[in-house]
Amino acid sequence: MIRTHHVVGKATRHRGMTLIEVLVAVTILAVLTWGTVAFLTGCRISVERANQRRAATQIAVAQLEQARTAAYAALVDTSGTTSLNGTTYTWTLDVTETLADPADPNSLYKQLAVTVDWPNDAGSPVVLVSARAP
Integer Cα distance of 103 and 97 in angstroms: 15
Q: Where are the alpha helices (DSSP H) in 70-82?
A: none
The answer to whether 79 and 92 have CB atoms below 8 angstroms apart is: yes
Check residue 10 and give its pLDDT: 54
* Residues in the chain, pLDDT under 50: none
The domain tally of the chain equals: 1
CATH number at residue 69: 3.30.1300.30
Check residue 25 and give its pLDDT: 93
DSSP state of 100: S
Given phi > 0 = left and psi -120 to 50 = alpha, else beta, which region is 114?
A: beta
- How does pLDDT run across 4-20, given as a tens digit for each residue? 555 555 555 667 778 89
Check residue 106 and give its pLDDT: 78
Check residue 34 and give its pLDDT: 96
Check residue 133 and give its pLDDT: 85
Range of the domain at 84: 5-132
Q: What's the number of CA atoms in the CB half-sphere (13 Å) around residue 65?
A: 6
